[in-house]
Structure 1
Amino acid sequence: MPEAYVWDRPAAGVPIALAASGPSSSALAAEYADGLISADPDARVVELFDEAGGDGKPRFGQVAVCWGPDEAECRKRLVDQWRWAPQNWKVKAELPGPESFASASQFTREEDLARTIPCGPDVDKHIEAFNRYVDAGFTHVAFVQVGGDSQAEFLDWAERELMPRLHG
């Protein structure tokens, strides 16, 4: 097993956020972590986190998007690279490896994915997905672009079209 070494420890420690999806994990995050993480825009998780003592701590949301100039191609990319997304966390947490994920997601349909993950060049769809997290009470939202081959183009588009709209 490889060893890990920390050569230069920060004086104040490193803030740690904990992913949560329900009452137990929200309470753990509130008590032990410096912030909350969620990949679902669930206002109830934020509320549970706050009620358990997390009020005032940062809440990080992770919104998946699949940007590209052709929505049909983006939808195909989702099926190829992100088809496990509709499974809930209770299922995903129990899957031991890639073969299990493949089996659990074999019946995922393109339209199921596109209903929850914005696809294509329409900036309004991506902003709507972002706003679901803001409306749920998240203080920080990260975009996750599905598709390694399209990262550079996504970042250029985000700088040119998405970020100005979010900041405006």
Structure 2
Amino acid sequence: MPEAYLWDRPDGGVPIAVAASGPSSSALAGEYADGVIAVEPDAKVLELFDEAGGGGKPRFGQVAICWGPDEADCRKRVLDQWRWSPLGWKVNAELPGPDSFAAATQFVREEDLVRTVPCGPDVDKHVEAFNKYVDAGFTHVAFVQVGGESQPDFLDWAERELLPRLRT
């Protein structure tokens, strides 16, 4: 198969981070993983991670945003593509498939989403979302831009406006 490649592993191994959202997963990540990943800026998750042996290891936060020149369009995009986010990790982790997600999110409104996913062109909203993770103790924060069709424009905007603000 011409698309398959076998790469040598690095001598030191491949670092593995484990997603955590509560006591059990935080303890598991702290004991066994090289880092922790979380999708909520929850300092308690990091505290539990540290208590289980995670002190000094990387802490990766993932913050969803929906940048675009029109906030109303962004809100619609989030409702269409990210409507499960206000349910929280405990619910999302237990849903078995697409039908369950559809049923669980049928009553989610745009107003519910903007509490967890900043939308629109206002750089301050996106910086605030980022800072929640920094304030909670995350060492690395990744933005997840909702909407594949908006990625090129988002990356241009991030280079011009968002990243300079985060570096100050």
- Is the shorter-chain TM-score for this pair beyond 0.5, marking a shared fold? yes
Deviation digits for residues 106-137 of structure 1 (CA, Å, limit 9, x no counterpart): 10010010121110000000000000000000
* Whole-Å separation in 1 of the counterparts to 2:6 and 2:141: 29
Deviation at 1:26, TM superposition (A): 0.6
* Matched pairs, number: 165
Gaps of 5+ in 2: none
Matches within 5 A, 1:101-140: 101-140=101-140
The residue aligned with 1:94 is 94
- 1:5 Cα deviation (Å)? 7.7
| 1:143 partner SS | strand
Please identify, of 5-14 and 115-124, the stretch whose mean Cα deviation from structure 2 is larger. 5-14
**RMSD of equivalent CA atoms:** 1.2
Identity of aligned residues (%): 79
Flag structure 1 segments of 5+ consecutive residues without an equivalent.
none
Per-residue deviation, residues 2-44 of structure 1 (Å, max 9, x unmatched): xx98541211100000000111111100010000100000011
The residue identity in structure 2 corresponding to 1:131 is N
Tell me the TM-score normalized by structure 2.
0.95
- Flag the 1:6–1:20 CA change in 2: closer, same or farther, 3 A: farther
Q: TM-score, normalised by structure 1?
A: 0.95
Alpha-carbon distance in structure 1 between the residues aligned to 2:131 and 2:53: 25
Please give the per-residue CA displacement for 1:142-165, whole angstroms capped at 9, x wherever unaligned.
000000000000000000000001
Structure 1's consecutive aligned runs of 4 or more residues displaced over 6 angstroms after TM superposition are: none
Q: 1:100 to 1:5 in 2, by over 3 A?
A: farther
